[in-house]
Amino acid sequence: MILGIETSCDETAAALVTEDGHIHSNIVSSQADLHARFGGVVPEVASRRHLELVLPVLREALAEAGTTLDGVERVAVTRGPGLVGALLVGLSAAKALAWARRLPLVPVDHLQGHVASLFLEPGAREPPFLCLLASGGHTLLLDVRDHSGFEVLGGTIDDAAGEAFDKGARLLGLGYPGGAALDRLASAGDPDAFSFPVARVPGLDFSFSGVKTALLYAVRDLGGEADDRRADLAASYQRAVVRALVERTLEAAERTGAQQIAVVGGVAANSELRASLEGAAFAPLQLCSDNAAMIASAARYAPAVPYPDYLALDAYASREAA
Ligand code: KG4
Ligand code: ZN
């Protein structure tokens, strides 16, 4: 069994996954409520909370899988990208566990983890496929040729898609993180009520800062009327963001000749996106947002660092810094 640990942002997560991709437990403790009053994740607050939660979450993952550390053969942990202070909590816990048990450790890239959410059973997907990774921190189009890596075809030049949803939600008074709430509100609205243009940038990149500003102006122009139009605003805004995601994804698929399209990351939970990309493989809902099962899954295809060489491993904030 592989023990996965994930602490890159505001979810403390641990999971037990078998070598052939079956999930025995997948525990996620979200700190979202803790950060809500700040309107975003406060890194130092996140690190401290991870420190409190990492052992209880680990114990729960072992208990739910009906195993102990004796049943663990490898420890997998997110090394980056993410908040370095938050990552270090998970990485240190993983090192300590692996070292105490003389186990190998597999450092995992968080983005590769999102892709590997598709390799879990039941219903595992096989590469090659074109993958849209849309989360709070990233919006990427990836050419996935095998289980262990990808080539980046495009990304966002400003906000991530999840960030666009969160900022839109905030303008509509939906709290943080508001992507899921905006999705729910939009279902009661008219997506054609407002026209929110999304900038088309060259290549296979995305830009979402303009559409957010368009929503801001619409809310301002409506004044006191905006409250009654919230569902329409949400539906129109969601339509604009989803359309941009779908168009670019289909363009990328055409360019690469991909036979299969897959969607992963928190935004993959969006109902309109799931309905718009017919035939695409979507990560199961419980594996869209950050979790440790996907990290353990990625470790199935990544090289393990033998005991005790991994003690010197460091976390990285961005892929460029890796
Ligand atoms: O993958 P994730 O949990 O964390 C990152 O690695 O960033 O993604 C979280 C993001 C948040 O921005 C959240 O608002 C968004 O995913 N999200 C959604 C939905 N559910 C979560 N966005 C749109 N529609 C949803 N249903
Ligand atoms: Zn993520």
The 10s digit of each residue's pLDDT in 269-320 is: 999 999 999 999 999 999 999 999 999 999 999 999 999 999 999 999 998 8
Of the candidates 117, 160, 152, the residue with the CA atom closest to the CA atom of residue 256: 152
Peptide bond into 104 cis (omega under 30): no
pTM value? 0.96
**How deeply is 170 buried, as exposed, middle or buried, from its count of CB atoms within 10 A (0-12, 13-18, 19+)?**
middle
Q: How far apart are CA 246 and CA 244, in angstroms?
A: 6
Ligand 1 pocket mutation pick from 267, 271, 273 by most atoms within 8 angstroms of CB: 267
**Quick check: 138 pLDDT over 90?**
yes
What is the mean predicted confidence (pLDDT) over 187-192? 98
What is the mean predicted confidence (pLDDT) over 104-113? 98
User: How far apart are the CA of 7 and the centre of ligand 2, in A?
Assistant: 10
289 CB within 6 A, ligand 1: yes
DSSP string, 92-154: HHHHHHHHHHT--EEEEEHHHHHHHGGGSSSS---S-EEEEEE-SS-EEEEEEEETTEEEEEE
**Quick check: 198 pLDDT over 90?**
no
Q: How far apart are CA 79 and CA 312, in angstroms?
A: 12
- Compute CA 159 distance to the chain's CA centroid, rounded to the nearest angstrom: 15
**Confidence at residue 12, expressed as pLDDT on a 0 to 100 scale:** 98
User: How far apart are the CA of 170 and the centre of ligand 1, in A?
Assistant: 14
User: How far apart are the CA of 221 and the centre of ligand 2, in A?
Assistant: 35
**Confidence at residue 216, expressed as pLDDT on a 0 to 100 scale:** 97
What is the mean predicted confidence (pLDDT) over 41-64? 96
Q: Please state, in angstroms and as integers, the Cα–Cα distance from residue 143 to each residue in 21, 139, 148, 160, 221, following that order.
A: 22, 13, 12, 19, 42
pLDDT, tens digit, 9 for 90 and up, residues 221-278: 999 999 999 999 999 999 999 999 999 999 999 999 999 999 999 999 999 999 999 9
Most distant CA atoms of the chain, gap in Å? 64
**Confidence at residue 181, expressed as pLDDT on a 0 to 100 scale:** 98
Residue 123: which pLDDT band, with cuts at 50, 70 and 90?
very high
Please identify which residue in the block is written with the tokens 């690190």. 47
177 CB within 6 A, ligand 1: yes
**Quick check: 322 pLDDT over 80?**
no
